[in-house]
Every structure is written in C-alpha cells, then in structure tokens.
Structure 1
C-alpha cells in the first residue's frame, strides 16, 4: 500500500465543500482541515503510483475551490503501536 500526504490550498468560501468532495473520492482515506500554511490535508492510500497520478492531478486538482496541491509520498510508517507490537512479539503472558 502506498500512502501519499496531499497538502491542499483552497478558496476560503469553498473549503467545506471541497473537503467533502475530496473525502468522497476513491483512494482518499481521510481529509483533515487544519490551521497553518495549508487548508486541508488528504491521506491517499492506493496500491500503485499510477493511482496517485490519477487521483491528485486527475481528480483532487479538479475539485472546485482547490487552488494548489503539494504531494508527499510516504516511504515507511512509524507509530507507537507498531513499535510496541514489535517489542512484544513472543511475550504473551
């Protein structure tokens, strides 16, 4: 599974509608509205890079109100849950 983090700038008056339209796209797992340099962050999870090429420029960028995107591809995931699971292997008790 490939994860892409898509930072999205939107027109202020279309933020809510754009967020929902993006969230409804196949391949988009979550969309977060946030404070800071970007308006929305979309988590895209797909099987191959071709799907990212279809989703981001092909669909997200065409949502009314989307002004710009910046896509980051994740190589590896780290989380407390993953670390705890690794160190607890074989330690049932």
Structure 2
C-alpha cells in the first residue's frame, strides 16, 4: 500500500476546521495536530502511488486554510505490532 506523510502549515484560526475537512477526503486515514514548524500531519494510504499525487494536488492542497506543505513518501514501515519487522509499504 502506498503511503504518504504530508506536513501542513495552517492559518492558525482554521486548524480545527481544516483538519476536519481533510478527513472527508477519501484515502486520508489520519490527521494529527502537531507541535513544531508544522500544524498538521496527514497520513494518506492508497493502492497506487500515482493516486497520491492526485489526492495531494487536486484535493488536499485546495483545502481552505493551508499556507504551506511538505510531502514525503514512506518506503518501509517498522511496526511494533509486527515484532519490529520491516513491512513493505508498496
């Protein structure tokens, strides 16, 4: 499964509303309010990596309140529930 992590800077008056709106987008599985340079961390998981590009550019980044973003792709997951073994995310 293709996985992307998107870090977002949000207009500080719109953090909660933006987070709630992002959860309405299919394939966005989690949204976290975080500390640091960014305000929200968004997890996208879907069957095809090409679909992530469409989700990010055509839907996510058009959401009101987003000021800046950084997108990262996950290559491998290390899950404690899997005994620390590496799990492919492709």
> Do both share a fold (TM > 0.5)?
yes
Q: Please name the residue that 1:91 is paired with.
A: none
SS at match of 2:69: strand
Bigger CA radius of gyration: 1
1:10 counterpart = 2:13:
no
Q: Please name the residue that 2:72 is paired with.
A: 72
Q: Is the 8 A contact 1:8 1:40 kept in 2?
A: yes
Structure with greater proportional strand content:
2
Q: Please name the residue that 2:36 is paired with.
A: 36
Structure with greater proportional helix content:
1
User: CA offset at residue 39 of structure 1?
Assistant: 0.3
SS at match of 1:13: coil
C-alpha distance in 1, partners of 2:64/2:38?
Answer: 17
- Unaligned ranges ≥5, structure 1: 87-93
RMSD: 1.2
Q: Please name the residue that 2:88 is paired with.
A: none
User: CA offset at residue 33 of structure 1?
Assistant: 0.3
- Unaligned ranges ≥5, structure 2: 86-90
Q: Is the 8 A contact 1:61 1:67 kept in 2?
A: no
1:45 counterpart = 2:45:
yes
